[in-house]
Amino acid sequence: MTKLALVQKSPVFLDTTKSVAKAIKYIHEAAKSSANIVVFGEGWLSGYPAWIDHSIHMGRWDKKEIKEVWAQMYDDGIEIPGNQISKIQHAAKATKKYVVIGANEAVKKGKGNGTLYNTLLIIDPTGKIVVHHRKLMPTYNEKMIHGYGDAFGLKTVSTPHGNIGGLICWEHWMPLTRQAMHDEGEDIHFGLWPAVKSSHKLASRHYAFEGRCFVVAMGQLIKKKDIPSYLTIAPEIKDNDSEYLLDGGSCIIDPNGEFLLEPQWS
């Protein structure tokens, strides 16, 4: 029997060191509950850039505030290989668990093209990164933040729990991308999302039915207070009673497109 731990928690926004520490804590907690696979949401290291949808500065790259927050994301980005991700790898090895986690991956100048990528990683129980997938096409406003990925990570990994693989967010609407993963013979698919809202549940259920596989649709929690104070939240968001910008919605879907685990909210 395969046991999953869905970590629907907040990272420490724009602080990779503290986010990594939290991730390690959750991995060890999941191991104590006998979970086999520990899953985090899109861009969890160190936080999905929710400000692109909820700030009045959205899309205004001539603004000092936007340049500042992007620079923070880039400086804070995970390097692969690198010291911070190696700590997650060590936790996977120490607990002998698979870890699926999203990250803002930075290719630092002098080592590559100086780009920030929206990345999905699968780490095996030996601590090895067995899937390193960069989101192929950043969605909407993400194009101002993340670079284009490649198809290197469109693959599955054979495990005692079946063939596992994953995609990020709107890649689930890309027919050829879905087909590439279906051809890999997925048994368990990990769909990483900022939060699993209505259209994301629809895409995840369709993916499960089309691919004849189980789907873990994984969201995360980000609160209004997590957004840098120098970015002004749009009035319609600020005046909303909810303290959350991203409110989870993580769920598990069977190959018939039905919920095994109903969406879990904040």
- First-to-last CA distance in the chain? 28
Detail the DSSP E strand segments found in 107-243: 116-123, 129-134, 157-159, 162-168, 188-192, 214-218, 221-223
pLDDT at residue number 53? 80
Percentage above 70 pLDDT, the chain: 96
- Domain residue ranges of the chain, discontinuous segments joined by +: 4-265
Yes or no: say if 44 and 220 are a contact pair by the CB < 8 Å rule: yes
How far apart are the C-alpha atoms of 265 and 219, rounded to whole Å?
9
Contacting residues for 188 by C-beta, under 8 A, at least 6 apart = 2, 37, 161, 162, 163, 164, 213, 214, 215, 216
Residue with more model confidence, 232 or 55: 232
Which amino acid appears at position 8 of this protein? Answer: Q
Residue with more model confidence, 98 or 1: 98
Active site residue 128: no
Active site residue 251: no
**Torsions phi, psi for 103 (to 5 deg):** -150, 150
How far apart are the C-alpha atoms of 244 and 236, rounded to whole Å?
13
Q: Which of 169, 171, 186, 251 is catalytic?
A: 169
**CATH of segment(s) 4-265:** 3.60.110.10
Q: Which of 135, 142, 186, 251 is catalytic?
A: 135
Contacting residues for 95 by C-beta, under 8 A, at least 6 apart = 27, 28, 30, 31, 125
Q: Which of 42, 105, 142, 171 is catalytic?
A: 42
Active site residue 213: no
pLDDT at residue number 2? 95
Segment 220-264, tens digit of pLDDT: 999 988 988 888 877 777 777 678 999 999 999 999 999 999 999
What average pLDDT does the segment 61-78 reach? 88
Six-digit token string for 212: 């004849």
Segment 178-226, tens digit of pLDDT: 999 999 999 999 999 999 999 999 999 999 999 999 999 999 999 988 9
Segment 106-119, tens digit of pLDDT: 998 766 678 999 99
